[in-house]
Structure 1
Amino acid sequence: MDVYKPAIFSISLGRAVVHSLDLKIDQAAAKGFRGIELAYEDLEFAAKTSFKTDEPSLAELSATTANIRARCDKLGLEVITLQPFLGYDGLLDRDAHALMIEKIHVWFQLAKILGTDMILVPANFLPADQVTGDMELIAADLRELADLGLREDPPVRFAYENLCWSTHVSTWEAAWAVVQLVDRPNFGLCLDTFNIAGRVWADPAAPDGRTPDADMVLKKSLERLVRDVDVRKVFFVQVVDAERMDSPLVEGHPFHVAGQPPRMNWSRNARTFMYEEDRGAYLPVEKIAEAIFDGLRYRGWVSMELFSRTLFEKGPHVVEDHARRGFESWKKLQAKFHLDKQ
């Protein structure tokens, strides 16, 4: 793409889908967004609701997806990606891997109905006894996925995203190394400001919310980003901030969940939009955005992604308020980096 376009994430957390997908789509369009990231879980929940079933069939999923596509078309929204294809790469259980390959063919059908050519694949965050750290095997798994996508008509692209709590691929550097190993034209990166900062700069379990030498480590990482990454392999960008914790996110903290990484629990409960310092936002998102927009000269979709405990609140005003906040954040980002003039 040769222009910047704002998108918003169609949010669902775990199995708790609180707000209807129709409402989210309507508010995204009403507030000025031009696209959405669509969560498979939202589609599944909509199908369950519509057909009053706990296990929607492929036909029921497809019918629901067609209705969602029609709604987006009517409102002038583009579905930029279907996501997240979780728990795929590097599985030690190869029978589980085979089941995921079966699953991706369903996703291909749904993506085609939605009119998107892209599926987001987060780096695996299953426990270390379930996933390999062998980058060659991780790349082989993802190459298999990419090759299947290339056989589709139209071909399907995959955006690979490091999560700051992923088991083995938790930095953009590791994700970029995997992209290079996969070496397929339809396999690239999703760069996420939260996941970049959340690994090398921030630590919700630390008293000051930061890693040692945070500023210098981030500076060097961003210099490498601008120097090493081929911007043509950046398929889209997610811009988001997060709250600094009042106390370290360790056992006893309200967000702590035994057996889960602090960064994952932080991510699920306490993200904010960019420029929301009044809500506790503290990550150096502008520095990362500068590297992406001015350094790499990225053009394309920019998603104002959010996970937060605030989305569990009930009432239509919750979705409206988050959509408004997201677009206000986008307008500030747009003005700061002159994204409307490039």
Structure 2
Amino acid sequence: MNTATSVPELTGRVRARLATLRPGAFIGELTPLPGGHSGLTYAVTAGDAAYVIKAVPPGQRPIGRNDVLRQARVLGALAASAVPVPGVAAVDEAQPAWFAMDFAQGEAVEPVLDEPEVPAATASARMLEIASVLRRLHDTDARAPGLDAPEPLDAAGELARWQRTMQAVPAELRPGGEELLRRLAADMPAGLPPVLLHGDFRLGNVLCSGTRAVAVVDWEIWSVGDPRVDLGWFLLFADHRNFPRLGRAVPGLPAESELLDTYLAGRPALPGMDWFRALARMKMAAIMGHNLRRHREGKHHDPDQERLPPTIAAMIRTARDILC
């Protein structure tokens, strides 16, 4: 079955639904939003209200990252929580499915990687702010009604998932990768009770206004698992030196230890954190290697991917160093 969303069809369906939400309001055109790597994303106005529309991209099925109903479920489950998320305004389950969420005002900038630059003091305050947001996310009940959460992945499952991605990358693009995988498999920590995970938690996926977190966005790969999975990934973005040729120095950013202390908020330290810091680096190397391979094979032409080899090598090298 073809589940692609044509823009004219989507426009008609969105306008009809928003008209019932905002009777008499003028419904604007769907305007594509830049950024993101999955799904169709549009902005639309209905009177003085603004919404973001997420829908299935042309020619693709509503599974994985493109399962917009799954994204709507987690946003709905978090609506009454202490985690700031956009409100879900409408859900259309008819295929091809789409949903509308409130347009949250703010900027999502990864300090060591993204443009535009933000003042160093602002970037530092934001990182500490979202460390607390991550704690609140992990304190949320993953059994919330309507969430339909997947079975939790433990450390072994998480490693196996990303090992497949890493090993699909040509060996010359991941120097030392096999040794890193062996070390990770040989020293796996005991698990912690599973929690709700964002999957890509970092400042680049949190809309902020000043130093305040307004909304955590981009929930395409949320899951349930060990909280240290999210935490290790978040910490990776605290130091530009993790990203040779890609990152830039931002004076005064919190060190990993300060972010961990803020996350813990006086609770006991998490055991085995170094393993998850190394896992995060392996994951980043695998993702970058996958993207570089696709570019070189002509599947997704992007010359910018040629900047990745030094960072891939650094991710693998520093992950091995952490595990020593």
Q: TM-score, normalised by structure 2?
A: 0.30
What's the TM-score, normalizing by structure 1?
0.29
